[in-house]
Chains A and B, each alone.
Chain A
Amino acid sequence: MANRRWRGLPQQGRSEEYYEELARIINLCQSISTKSDDPFLVDIPQKLTILKRLLPKWKLIDDLLMDAEAIRELSLMVKLQSDWVKRRASGLFIDPFLVEVKIKLLSKEALAYSVLSSWHPLVAMDQLTPERLEGALDYWNSILPLSQRVKEEAADQTASDRTVDIAELVRLRFISERTFNEDIRQIRSRLVESAKDGPIDYWKFVLAPTYEETVMNAYRLSFLVSKGLANLIINPIEETILVEPADGVENRRGGRSVVISISYEKWMSMIKETERA
């Protein structure tokens, strides 16, 4: 919008001279704004008088939009005039023509010298904290070689996001049904043992020495919850999640999904907390 030019004159049958006057005002303002010419070249009161005279002639919405744009351009000129005065007062004002001539006359060496004499280099420091360095080391240790990553990324291109259930994992021979059932029995026994004095913290229960094992524990526990063999007690105010064994009555109706994310960073911080404790 800022650089639109009102070249063509619209609306057949309407007097073109009115539009020409309006277009001239808009184009003059835009030209001065783009080229950084002297904004005082625009006689604001005179242009406003013209707009006032033309206003009763505008009937269509396009006419009024054009009129509004002219007002906007004139108000921008007032701002530029204000900036111009401030700039002159700041001592930065110099005749652009003089600068242009001098630049053409000066040698490359003289120009280079002038900028070096005015150059006060910035002093700034980059920083690397021990925590950031530690994070980088963990990342380096966990990252796969590029050749393997390329293979994985290529395989991912054809895959799409979807849920994989136990039956499918068994079918894909990712896990065996017998092993999985055994895992579930074990984790239920552990839950019953751990929560004999009441519900226990979810994170304490799933946390394991490795990230993979922690995720597997969370996965097995989610299976127990789905089967009605465990209950989650979530307190959104205190942001705590407790878990307790349940009576084993499977309840698929009226349930709700709970998303608990386990990122590598969260696992790392929990492991550190545990070590400190």
Chain B
Amino acid sequence: MSEDASLAKKIRKAAQLIMYQHHRLPGVKGYELRKYIGRDFMKIVSLLQRKLDDLGLEVKIVYADGLEHPNPTEEELEQARFYVISKAPLQMGDASLSGWRIDTLAVFAATVAYLTSKQGRAPRRDVEELLQEKFPDWKIDQDLNRFIRRGYLDEDQNCVLFIGWRTRVEIDRKRLLDMIAGSSTDKGEPESGSKI
């Protein structure tokens, strides 16, 4: 097999691994990519990224600690999870695509921004108190439970809410905070992961 054919095969395999849903969660861990593609899996992921560019998609790497790693070590990459996300954010006209009403989106924005400002975790009671300024109790409860079910939030047995895996993947939290705090720029960069 020529080198080009071998590379093309590896790129296809990487796309399958990252985009197909395995068990319950989408995405794939770095060590799984290394197992199936080889030690040079980051080179293959970069080549896949070039192909995804044309489709308006990109590979996002979410590290185990949820923080950005400009120069990740091999171990950090192996423990990170790789996803494919849409390169451009949703527009206001796309709001219906999310399947959520405007007020649910507002609850989501407020909750994620508040939790992010509180180091990613806060008692559910505090979040509910904040939201009660604008929303009825029944809606807050319904929406928070919906976010937990869909992986956007997590809750432990002590009723403490956390940022969920899906928020880490899909939401550019730095940009969200910038926009809410009134210092938005159009060059928002991702915060809890890296894009290739």
A residues neighboring B (CB under 8 Å): 2-3, 34-36, 80, 83-84, 86-87, 90-92, 94-96, 98-100, 102-104, 106, 108-109, 111-127
Contacts and interface: CB of A to CB of B under 8 A. Distances in A.
Given A117-B175, A123-B19, A112 B191 contact: no
B20 A121 contact: no
Contact of A87 (B119, B169, B176): B119
Interface of B: 19-21, 26-27, 57, 60, 65, 67-68, 83-92, 94-95, 97-98, 102-103, 105-106, 108-110, 112-114, 116-123, 126, 130, 133-134, 158, 160, 166, 169-177, 179-182, 184, 188, 191-192
A94 B86 contact: no
Contacts of B57: 123
B180 A112 contact: no
A83 B89 contact: no
B102 A106 contact: no
A113 B92 contact: yes
Contacts of A96: 114, 117-118
A121 B175 CA distance: 15
A158 B151 CA distance: 42
A115 B110 CA distance: 9
Nearest to B133: A104
A102 B169 contact: no
B172 A112 contact: no
B173 A92 contact: yes
Contacts of B160: 34
A35 B21 contact: no
A111 B191 contact: no
A103 B173 contact: no
Contact of B179 (A34, A91, A118): A118
